[in-house]
Amino acid sequence: MIDCSKISADSPLLDAKTKETIQGVFAKLDRDVVIKAAVDLKEEKSLEMASFLRAMADLSSHISLELYDPLEQAELGMETDHLPATGLYLDGAYTGVSFHGVPGGKEINSFVIGIYNLAGPGQELSKAAVKKIGRLKRPASVKVCVSLACHHCPGVVIACQRIAMLSPLVEAGMYDANLYPDLVERFKIERVPLVIINDKDAFAGPRSLEDLVQLLMDARG
C-alpha cells in the first residue's frame, strides 16, 4: 500500500470555495466510506488523482483513503485495466461504484454526490424506482464514458452508480473517454455520455434512472 501521507493534498481541482461547498455536503455523512484507488505514481493522471483523493479525504472524518500501486490492484475487486481506478467501499466491501480517470470538471459533482448517496441520507428516490431496481436478476457491468466538460454526463453517472449501490448485481464505473483511446476505438465513441452494458450494448445520450434500469433488464448477458 502507498503511504498517503507522502501524497500532496494540494489539488488544483479543489479551490477554497469548492472545498467549502463539498464540506457542506459531507457534513451530512453518517457512515464511514473508504476510497481505494489503484494509481501508477509515475503517470501524470494517477498522481493528479492521488492528490485529488487526498484532498477529498481531508474534508470529512467519515472518509478514509487507501492507495495501491498497480502490482497490488488485484485485491481491490474492481476493474483496474484503466488507471487511475478508484472505488468506493462500505463496511469493508466494494460497492460496485468506480471512477476511471480524474473526475474533474463537471464530474466532481458525480464523485461528491456518489459519496453522499452512499454514506449520507442520499438523494430521494421514489419507491417505484427502488422496487424496479430490486427486480434486476442478472449481473451487469456498466461503463459510462464521459467528457469532463459534458453537462449531461454527471447525471447519468450518478444514476448508474445509484443503481449499483442498491443492487449487488450491478457495477457502474465512470470512464473519462479522453484518457482511454482503446474504449473510443472499440465502441466507436462519437458522443457522450455513452452507457456500455456488459461490453456489448452501447447507448448514447442522457438517460433517466428509470430508463437505465430498463436497459439493464433488457441487456444481453
Give the C-alpha separation, 2 to 40, whole Å: 10
- Above 90 in pLDDT, residue 146? yes
Mean pLDDT taken over the chain:
95
| pLDDT at res. 221 | 61
pTM of this prediction exceeds 0.85? yes
| pLDDT at res. 73 | 74
More confidently predicted of 220 and 76: 76
pLDDT tens for each residue of 92-112:
899 999 999 999 999 999 999
Number of other CB atoms surrounding residue 20 within 10 Å: 10
Q: Domains in the chain, start-ordered, CATH in brackets?
A: 4-218 (3.40.30.80)
- Above 90 in pLDDT, residue 176? yes
